Each structure stands twice: as structure tokens, then as C-alpha cells.
């Protein structure tokens, strides 16, 4: 028994089926196997044997059949208006939007190619200064991003998937009807500190600093309330208040009845928000500046978080439910003006071990700045930016001469902003160990191409 499908096509509508069908068959095959071709001034119908199509094409064909037939139902109903979908390419990738703007979908992918030597990971302790001399080339990130709004422009959604590691990173729904009060539920990067919140594709350096690992809250599940108040006034503030499970990305339940509480208050002291991205690509003619304070408290089996979920810092044993209570706070500044950009963070963190009854204090900071020198020297190309960073981390403030330091210099070439850029970076690391006289140190070189489409 041969199964046929009938495709109805209204004349004047975009008709993408022949292109898809030609992926599987050639022109001669097409002529021999299309049956009962009907054609009028308003309508064309084609019968095609399904068994000739590959499985992926069958699904595509089924979608097209449903899509085209849905439109063709109104051929003889002139009183019914035809709904259309607008397709565009934006800074968030391909965008599909209904004409009434009640539904919008954007799809974006991002690839990050990286070469590093020696090795790519930041050293974690004295013995970890470049334990390998290997050169590394890898696809560091491969992301698929889907977002938009449904039913109303203020009911938004966003999903992000890491293809190289098969991790669902973000899934969240946002209710953003008012500027002063919004609600977000799902899983996302906790709105705590600037360096972590900025996308890896919009960093000014190749990647984040050495203090990101010990102090980030990373992705969590829960609910958040946020907004911006007194906009464009001297009292302009942005706030984020979050109630989270506190057990990391991908966790399906909490380890106890205690939650993670996070608060961030940001003063936009010039009445303008500083965009969450590295570099002043817009060459702002009006300065933007902020000072932010954030704090968090959490009780869980973990002392740190990452994309992989909960884990432990060096020197801490695998935890059990409720073993570690972590209190931390952060002070942040950022500034952008006429090609110059600045950002800094000062971190403090205290870890209470409720099983062994110990207390550990950690501290860290970084300062980072970049500038487009084409604003001063005409012979320097406009897409070229120079940036530098200094970071300092103390894993235990009660132990003297126990420091990790990072000195980095980067050169960016922006082909199309952060959506297509090339970054080269050289970094010098120095780690002091209280038990040894001389610090361990070394250089690392990295070059990275980041492209979104």
C-alpha cells in the first residue's frame, strides 16, 4: 500500500516546500513521482508518495503541510484576514514575530573556538602552576539560545543549551509588565556579580578572572523579583531579590528546608544603567556609571558553584546535607564613556563547617579596564581595543602569604561587535604558599574567536 500526502499551496504565499524536497530527490525523480498536480489561479495541490522521503524530511514535510493547509482554509473566505509571520535577523539571531506582536521567537547559536598554551585552566594552588606543557585547541562553548515572548510582549521566556556538554543551562519565564517590579521563575545565572552575569560571549578578556571560581553563585533555580526605580534621576536604582534552592544547576530538590537568599542593589549614579557587557562598543557620548552591593547566604553540602552544579573549594571535604553555611557579600563598580570601560569587584566570603565546627574567611578582588585608542590616534583601526586586568585571591585570610594573583593583557578585534570578535590574551600568574620561600609563577597565552549567528 502506498501512502500519499497532499500539499495545498495558496498562490502568493511563500512556498518553501520544493527547496526542502529537492534535498532528497532530483528533478527527474520529482517529475516521475508527483501525482495529480492541480493548479488554479488561487490554488495548487500536489500529491507525493511519503515513502521516498527520509525521516527528518517527513517531519519537516508534515509541518509544512499543516502550516500551508492552515492558511489555505481561508482561500474562499474573503472576510477572514490572513495572519502573517514577520521574519527578521536581529542582534539576537533569527526572529519570528506575529504582526500583532503577541508572539515572538528568536533563535541564536554561538561558537567559541580557543587555543591556549600551556593548558587552559586557571591554576588553583601552588602545585597547579601549569602542570602540563600541552597546547590546547578546543571548541570551548557551543550554545543554542531560544527566547522571546508569548501571548503578550511582557510574558517572556528564554532557554539556553550547551551543545558540547549536553547541559540545559537556562530555562526561565519572566513577567516584565512594569519597569519597577518584575518576576522571574526557573533557572538562570544568579544576579549577584557583574563578571558572572555578563555572558561569556560579551567578556572583554578571553574569559573571567581567577576570583570567579570561588565567589560565583552561578546558576540556581528559584524565583526572583527585580526592577528599576526612580529612572533617570539621581536616585536611579536597580534591584534584584532572589529566593533560590541553593544546590546548583540541574538540581531537582533542596538538601534541606533552608533556601539561598540573594539581594543586589545597584545605584545608577548618573541616571543611566551600564550595559551588562564588556567594552564600550557604542563609544558613549554620555557617561554611564554604577556602584552595586550584593549579599547572599546559603546552607548546603557545597562551598562553590559552577556550570556543573555544586562542588567544593580546595581544602574542603565532600559535604553532607546542611554541612556548610556560606555568607558572602560583594561591592562592584562599573563605568563607560567615549571608548573607555572600567569594572571592578571586591568580594568577601565566610564558610562555616557545621560538622567540624571550623570557620574559613576568603577574600578577592579584580579591576579591569579597556580603551579604543583610535579615539586618540588616527592610525589605530577603530575595531581594535586594548584591555587589562588585575585579580587577587586569598583562599584563607588567616594564613599569611597565601595569595593568588593574575595580571592579564588582551587585544580585541571586533568584526561585528561581540557577535563576531577575535581576542588574544597573555596572562601572568603568581601563587604564594606560606610553607615555601619562593612563589610559583608562569605565563599563559590564549587566542579565541567568538561568533554568534
Q: For the segment 85-128, what is each residue's pLDDT rounded down to a tens digit?
A: 899 999 999 999 999 999 999 999 999 999 999 989 888 777 77
Contact 151, 102 (CB under 8 A): yes
Residue 402 has pLDDT above 50, yes or no: yes
* CB-based contacts of 190, cutoff 8 Å, min separation 6: 196, 217, 218, 219, 220, 242, 244, 262, 296
Average pLDDT, the chain: 85
Contact 115, 82 (CB under 8 A): no
Residue 77 neighbours by CB distance under 10 Å: 9
Residue 155 neighbours by CB distance under 10 Å: 15
Domain coordinates of the chain in residue numbers?
4-72, 87-452
Task: Kindly write down the DSSP assignment for every residue of 404-453, as one continuous string.
Answer: EEEEEEEEEEESBTBTEEEEEEEEEEEE--TT-SSPEEEEEEEEEEEEE-
**Cα angle: 7, vertex 8, 13; to 5 degrees:** 115
Average of per-residue pLDDT across 331-340: 98
Confidence (pLDDT) at 96: 95
Across-strand partners of 234?
A: none
Best-predicted range by mean pLDDT (18-27, 41-50, 88-97):
88-97
Q: Any idea which architecture 87-452 has in CATH?
A: Beta Barrel (2.40)
Confidence (pLDDT) at 438: 78
Q: What is the DSSP letter of 97?
A: E
pTM of the model: 0.79
Amino acid at each position: 500500500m502506498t501512502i500519499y500526502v497532499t500539499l495545498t499551496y495558496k498562490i502568493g504565499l511563500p512556498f518553501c516546500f520544493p527547496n526542502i524536497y529537492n534535498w532528497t530527490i532530483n528533478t527527474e525523480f520529482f517529475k516521475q513521482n508527483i501525482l495529480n498536480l492541480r493548479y488554479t489561479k488561487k490554488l495548487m495541490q500536489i500529491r507525493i508518495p511519503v515513502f521516498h522521503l527520509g525521516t527528518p524530511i517527513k517531519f519537516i514535510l508534515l509541518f509544512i503541510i499543516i502550516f500551508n493547509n492552515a492558511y489555505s482554509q481561508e482561500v474562499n473566505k474573503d472576510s477572514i484576514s490572513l495572519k502573517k509571520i514577520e521574519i527578521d535577523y536581529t542582534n539576537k539571531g533569527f526572529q519570528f514575530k506575529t504582526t500583532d506582536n503577541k508572539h515572538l521567537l528568536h533563535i541564536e547559536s554561538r561558537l567559541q573556538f580557543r587555543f591556549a598554551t600551556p593548558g587552559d585552566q586557571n591554576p588553583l594552588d601552588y602545585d597547579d602552576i601549569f602542570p602540563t606543557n600541552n597546547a590546547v585547541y578546543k571548541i570551548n562553548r557551543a550554545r543554542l539560545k531560544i527566547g522571546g515572548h508569548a501571548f503578550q510582549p511582557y510574558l517572556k521566556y528564554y532557554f539556553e543549551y550547551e551543545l558540547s556538554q549536553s547541559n540545559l543551562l537556562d530555562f526561565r519565564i519572566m513577567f516584565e509588565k512594569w519597569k519597577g517590579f518584575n518576576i522571574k521563575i526557573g533557572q538562570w545565572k544568579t544576579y549577584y556579580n557583574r563578571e558572572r552575569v555578563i555572558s561569556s560571549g560579551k567578556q572583554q578578556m578571553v574569559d573571567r578572572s581567577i576570583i570567579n571560581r570561588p565567589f560565583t553563585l552561578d546558576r540556581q533555580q528559584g524565583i526572583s523579583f527585580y526592577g528599576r526605580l526612580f529612572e533617570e534621576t539621581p536616585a536611579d536604582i536597580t534591584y534584584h531579590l532572589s529566593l533560590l534552592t541553593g544546590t546548583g544547576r540541574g538540581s531537582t530538590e533542596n538538601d534541606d528546608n533552608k533556601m539561598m537568599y540573594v539581594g543586589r542593589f545597584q545605584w545608577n549614579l548618573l541616571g543611566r544603567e551600564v550595559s551588562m557587557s564588556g567594552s564600550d562598543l557604542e563609544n558613549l557620548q554620555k557617561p554611564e556609571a554604577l556602584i552595586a552591593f550584593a549579599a547572599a547566604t546559603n546552607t548546603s553540602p557545597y562551598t562553590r558553584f559552577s556550570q556543573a552544579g555544586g562542588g567544593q573549594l580546595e581544602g574542603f571535604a565532600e559535604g553532607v546535607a546542611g554541612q556548610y553555611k556560606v555568607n558572602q557579600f560583594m561591592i562592584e563598580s562599573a563605568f563607560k564613556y567615549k571608548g573607555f570601560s572600567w569594572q571592578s569587584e571586591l568580594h568577601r566570603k565566610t564558610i562555616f563547617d557545621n560538622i567540624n565546627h571550623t570557620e574559613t574567611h576568603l577574600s578577592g578582588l579584580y579591576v579591569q579596564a579597556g580603551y579604543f585608542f583610535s579615539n586618540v590616534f588616527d592610525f589605530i583601526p577603530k575595531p581594535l581595543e586594548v584591555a587589562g586586568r588585575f585579580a587577587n585571591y586569598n583562599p584563607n585570610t588567616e594564613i599569611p602569604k597565601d595569595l593568588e594573583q593574575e595580571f592579564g593583557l588582551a587585544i580585541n578585534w571586533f568584526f561585528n561587535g561581540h557577535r563576531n570578535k577575535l581576542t588574544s590574551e597573555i596572562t601572568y600568574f603568581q601563587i604564594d604558599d606560606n610553607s615555601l620561600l619562593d612563589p610559583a609563577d608562569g605565563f599563559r597565552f590564549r587566542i579565541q574567536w567568538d561568533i554568534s549567528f
